[in-house]
Chains A and B, each alone.
Chain A
């Protein structure tokens, strides 16, 4: 175990949440959402390439629905630390340019090992599967809004 925290508020701090009004293609969106993790050393550049390759290979399964995508790759492709980042776009950047995969809320997910992966994924799944929190997340207009609602969700559990 290289990490023990699985709290979303620790994994997805305010500094790793970004908003953009730029019109981005999906590749740019993946690079943009990954940037805070790359800057922090949580992932290597190879991890970003692996995520893009995976989508290029038809990996639209990262589209979770509700305009939300969870970009990720296998831990051995360059996940250094377990971490999550988020990018909210004003204009959707559809995966593989397919309208049915319109995504305007990108998450980047990296897990250092299988156990951390499972626990962190569970935390994120709980948050995103909760209809009220999901709507609040989509309505959030700042990184501070997002961290606030994550804290509220964790305290309500």
Chain B
């Protein structure tokens, strides 16, 4: 199982989201998920099982598969719910 945080450059915001996803997964006690970050240009549907992007990349990410759109990449509460939902969808919770 792989969760992938993406942003335009693969440098800044995707890394922030990745870190926060890892922390939320640990809090939820969900194991066995590989979390990575990348630029959206190099991601394909095969890159991950769940993709996380900020609002501005929602359209670009369409077609990748299971895409989660975040309103704020530093809103831990929003992310917690999103990660929890994704974990449930994937049968991890």
CB distance A64 to B13 under 8 Å? yes
A120 shortest CB reach to chain B, Å: 10
Query: Beta-carbon contacts of B58-83 to A below 8 Å, as 1s and 0s?
Result: 00000000000001111111000000
CB distance A128 to B74 under 8 Å? yes
Q: Which residues of A contact B71 (CB under 8 A)?
A: 65
Q: Which residues of B contact A66 (CB under 8 A)?
A: 72, 74-75
Q: Which residues of B contact A41 (CB under 8 A)?
A: none
Query: Residue of B at shortest CB range from A60?
Result: B56
Query: Beta-carbon contacts of A50-85 to B below 8 Å, as 1s and 0s?
Result: 000000001111111110101010100000000000
Q: Is residue B47 within 8 Å, beta carbon to beta carbon, of the partner chain?
A: no
CB distance A125 to B74 under 8 Å? yes
Q: Which residues of A contact B41 (CB under 8 A)?
A: none
Q: Count A/B pairs, Cβ under 8 Å.
A: 59
CB distance B72 to A125 under 8 Å? no
Q: Is residue A131 within 8 Å, beta carbon to beta carbon, of the partner chain?
A: yes
Q: How many A residues are at the interface, by size bracket?
A: 20 to 34
Chain B interface, >50% SS class: mixed
A143 shortest CB reach to chain B, Å: 22
CB distance B74 to A109 under 8 Å? no
We find that the number of chain B residues with CB closer than 8 angstroms to chain A is 20
CB distance A125 to B20 under 8 Å? yes
Q: Which residues of B contact A126 (CB under 8 A)?
A: 19
Q: Which residues of B contact A63 (CB under 8 A)?
A: 56
CB distance A129 to B12 under 8 Å? no
Query: Residue of A at shortest CB range from B15?
Result: A121
Q: Which residues of A contact B57 (CB under 8 A)?
A: 61
Query: Beta-carbon contacts of A107-128 to B below 8 Å, as 1s and 0s?
Result: 0010000000110011011101
A28 shortest CB reach to chain B, Å: 22
Q: Is residue B9 within 8 Å, beta carbon to beta carbon, of the partner chain?
A: yes
CB distance A122 to B19 under 8 Å? yes
Provide a sorted-by-A list of 9 A–B residue pairs whose CB atoms are within 8 angstroms: A65-B71, A66-B72, A66-B74, A66-B75, A70-B12, A74-B11, A121-B11, A122-B15, A124-B16
